[in-house]
């Protein structure tokens, strides 16, 4: 089997629901045993949310965002029949270890209130359809990640396995944004028929399927409160409900009739997403080092070497609240105004260049304005735009300690390596056995450098092996930066720093975490809740 894991064509969701459940069956059964050291959960109880956000959490857990599913009884039968296969692979069926090892997924928190069934996990929801229990995905399949043993609501899942029986993909690779383009490409006549799909493959769909699609990591949900645009780094879209709902829209004959209800449901979920908070950095902080790092970050102190570009010019300004303790994380106000500023700092250009090829699909999607305006519902109109030049939007850095791996494609495992390009491994392996594995000093994923020979041997070993064999699963943990869209170059600014200066900035970045990280101005979030 080739080592290439980039994605061509179809959406990882939707058309592969049955495939997903068949695969899930190999690692799950009705048993509900947990890992020896149970995971903790952050942000899933809704206790510190507004009523609107709590209602959004309920919508997510209830499975209302995805308008498809399969009978839960059939899924359970498959899981039961496949439990013997799991044991042959050395897994305890139903255990958290098996679920994390095979798929990078998690059990639900014990206090989950809606859409729960102990057979399924955090990222699945059971709901009733005309008296039949159905199971579907929910947002937490991809937007609940683990850091240092804590599963965090809104954190991108950097261990998710989106491989299938025909191709092994890197764990953590995400193809979520492409569902929007696929939905748009399938529309028959948006001006006259709205979002109704064509009966046959369209020319725009053929365009999309002709492209090799690079992965892109989702930003943590909590960054939405500081931004207006570009949730996916350079997609150009406003993250309102009319736009976001397209991610979860399945083409069907009644898609237009369901549109208003679906957008309203997504609006509730977004209310929760915007109120998610980064987890606190769990280690101790050196107050003096945090202050030194803050001064370097904001350009108030010049590094010893010339040519360093102050981080604040791209990532925002952070002001410690009066009388706050610098040895404790949080208590920073965040002034970030770069959500529509594309910058080219030399990072892998594949995602940006791919988006620029999707201009014809964006134009097709934007024709929906005619249809929904004529229907008297212009607020249901999604919009699309592509970048007019290469580059990406540099994100705010709230909770950056928890959001490894770094860059838009997840190519750099630690903050230390972001700030020192010489430390970036060409090939590296993440730990898919221990959800508590995290490096709090280098700030990022615990990883193992891998040689080219070892990578090639691993790729060869997958040939003819079952989809969920240890050989195939373990090969998916390898990240090869020479693959399409996986490059780790660019952003060389930290190379100008001394080791002590890097350590100070890293200490400062650790402190940008926790619930007390408000936007400096209400205007930063104005206009985001539309739809």
String of DSSP letters for 304-317 = SSTTPPPTHHHH-E
**Torsion angle of C-alpha atoms 450, 452, 455, 461, degrees rounded to 10:** -140
Q: Over 50: is that where the pLDDT of 438 sits? A: yes
- Can you spell out the DSSP letters for 64-130? -SS---EEHHHHHHHHHHHHHHHHHTT--TT-HHHHHHHHS--PPPTT--SS--TTS-TTEEEEEET
Residue 22: its pLDDT value, please? 52
Rounded-to-integer distance, Cα 83 and Cα 416, Å: 42
Residue 30 pLDDT exceeds 90: no
What pLDDT shows up at residue 527?
34
Give the residue, 364 or 114, on which the prediction is more confident. Answer: 364
Instruction: Report pLDDT digits (tens) over 155-210.
Output: 999 998 876 666 777 887 777 788 889 999 999 999 999 999 999 999 999 999 99
Cα separation, 174 vs 167, in Å, equals 14
Q: Which two tokens stand for residue 368?
A: 């929906």
Q: What is the pLDDT, as a whole number, of residue 81? A: 64
Compute the average pLDDT of residues 340-346: 91
Residues 6+ positions from 47 with CB-CB distance below 8 Å = none
In this predicted model, what pLDDT tens digit does every residue of 255-308 receive, in sequence order? 999 999 999 999 999 999 999 999 999 989 999 999 999 999 999 999 998 888
Per-residue confidence at 58, pLDDT binned at 50, 70, 90? very high
- Pick from 13, 348, 67: which is nearest to 180 by CA? 13
Interior/surface letters 366-375, b for 16+ CB within 10 angstroms, e for the rest? bbbeebbeee
Residue 40 has pLDDT above 90, yes or no: yes
In this prediction, residue 525 carries a pLDDT of 45
Query: DSSP alpha helices (H): ranges in 224-285?
Result: 241-244, 259-275
| 3-state SS, one letter per residue, for 332-359 | EEEECCCCCCCECCCCCCHHHHHHHCCH
pLDDT bin (cut points 50, 70, 90) of residue 35 is very low
Say which DSSP state 41 is in: E
**Cβ(25)–Cβ(82) under 8 Å?**
yes
CA distances from 354 to 62, 84, 207, 451, 502 (A): 34, 43, 11, 29, 33
Output the average pLDDT for the chain.
87
pLDDT value for 503: 98
By percentage, how much of the chain surpasses pLDDT 70?
86
Is pLDDT of 337 > 60?
Answer: yes
CA distance 525 to 45: 24
What average pLDDT does this structure show over 363-377? Answer: 98
The residue assigned the tokens 């770069």 is 338
Say yes or no to pLDDT of 118 above 90.
no
Give pLDDT, residue 267.
95
Inform me whether the pLDDT recorded for 224 exceeds 70: yes
Q: What local confidence, expressed as pLDDT, does residue 1 receive?
A: 32
pLDDT for 237: 67
> In the numeric block, which tokens belong to residue 152?
């965090």
Confidence (pLDDT) at 365: 96
Check residues 404 and 306 and name the one with the higher pLDDT.
404
pLDDT class for 521, splitting at 50, 70, 90? confident
Neighbour count for residue 526 (Cβ, 10 Å): 11
Q: Taking the model in full, what pTM does it have? A: 0.90
Of the pLDDT bands very low, low, confident and very high (cuts 50, 70, 90), residue 458 is: very high
**Residue 28: which pLDDT band, with cuts at 50, 70 and 90?**
very low
Q: What is the DSSP letter of 460?
A: H
Please, what is the end-to-end C-alpha distance for the chain in angstroms?
45
pLDDT tens-place string over residues 199-221: 999 999 999 999 999 988 889 99
Query: What span, in angstroms and rounded, lies between the C-alpha atoms of 178 and 185?
Result: 11
What are the distances in angstroms from CA 67 to CA 101, 205, 259, 266, 353?
A: 28, 22, 11, 12, 31
pLDDT (average), residues 147-156: 97
- How many angstroms separate the CA atoms of 104 and 447, rounded? 16
The confidence band for 335, taking pLDDT boundaries of 50, 70 and 90, is very high
339: pLDDT strictly greater than 70: yes
Out of 213-227, 399-413, 479-493, which region has the weakest mean confidence (pLDDT)? 213-227
Q: What mean pLDDT is predicted for residues 52-75?
A: 89
Q: Residue 284 CB: number of other CB atoms within 10 A?
A: 10
Whether residue 208 contacts residue 386, with contact meaning beta carbons closer than 8 Å, is answered with no
């Amino acid at each position: 089997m080739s080592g290439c894991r980039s994605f061509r064509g179809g959406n990882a969701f939707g058309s592969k629901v049955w495939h997903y459940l068949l695969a899930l069956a190999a690692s799950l059964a009705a048993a509900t045993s947990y890992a020896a050291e149970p995971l903790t959960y952050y942000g899933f109880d809704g206790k510190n949310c507004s009523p609107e956000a709590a209602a959004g959490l309920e919508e997510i857990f209830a499975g209302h965002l995805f308008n498809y599913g399969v009978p839960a009884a059939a899924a359970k039968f498959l899981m039961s029949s496949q439990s013997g296969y799991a044991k042959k692979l050395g897994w305890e069926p139903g255990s958290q270890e098996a679920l994390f090892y095979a798929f990078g997924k998690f059990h639900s928190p014990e206090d989950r209130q809606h859409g729960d069934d102990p057979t399924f996990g955090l990222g699945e929801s059971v709901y009733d359809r005309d008296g039949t229990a159905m199971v579907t995905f929910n947002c937490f399949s991809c937007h609940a990640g683990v850091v240092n043993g804590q599963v965090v609501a809104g954190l991108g899942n950097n261990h998710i396995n989106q491989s299938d029986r025909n191709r092994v993909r890197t764990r953590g690779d995400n193809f979520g944004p492409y569902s929007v383009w696929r939905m748009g490409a399938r529309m028959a006549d948006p001006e006259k028929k709205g979002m109704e799909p064509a009966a046959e493959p369209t020319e725009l769909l053929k365009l999309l399927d002709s492209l090799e699609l690079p992965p892109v990591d989702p930003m943590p949900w909590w960054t939405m409160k500081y931004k207006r645009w570009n949730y996916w780094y350079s997609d150009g879209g406003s993250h309102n409900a009319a736009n976001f709902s397209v991610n979860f829209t399945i083409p069907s004959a009644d898609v237009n009739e369901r549109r208003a209800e679906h957008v309203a449901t997504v609006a509730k979920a977004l209310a929760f997403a915007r109120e998610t908070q980064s987890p606190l950095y769990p280690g101790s902080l050196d107050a003096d080092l945090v202050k030194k790092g803050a001064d370097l970050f904001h350009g108030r102190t010049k590094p010893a070497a010339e040519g360093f570009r102050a981080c604040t010019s791209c990532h925002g300004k952070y002001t410690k609240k009066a009388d706050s303790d610098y040895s404790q994380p949080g208590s920073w106000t965040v002034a970030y105004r770069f959500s529509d500023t594309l910058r080219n700092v030399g990072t892998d250009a594949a995602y940006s260049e791919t988006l620029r090829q999707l201009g014809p699909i964006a134009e097709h999607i934007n024709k929906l304005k005619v249809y929904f305006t004529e229907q008297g519902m212009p607020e249901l109109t999604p919009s699309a735009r592509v970048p007019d030049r290469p580059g990406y939007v540099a994100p705010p850095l709230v909770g950056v300690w928890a959001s490894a791996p770094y860059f838009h494609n997840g190519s750099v495992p630690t903050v230390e390596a972001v700030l020192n390009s010489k430390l970036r491994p060409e090939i590296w392996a993440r730990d898919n056995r221990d959800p508590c594995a995290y490096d709090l000093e280098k700030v990022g994923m615990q990883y193992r450098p891998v040689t080219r020979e070892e990578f090639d041997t691993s790729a060869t070993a997958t040939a003819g092996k079952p989809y969920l064999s240890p050989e195939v699963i373990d090969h998916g943990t390898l990240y090869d930066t020479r693959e399409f869209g996986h490059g780790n170059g660019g952003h060389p600014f930290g190379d100008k720093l001394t080791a002590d200066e890097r350590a100070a900035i890293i200490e400062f970045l650790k402190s940008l975490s926790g619930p007390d990280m408000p936007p400096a101005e209400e205007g930063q979030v104005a206009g985001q809740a539309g739809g």
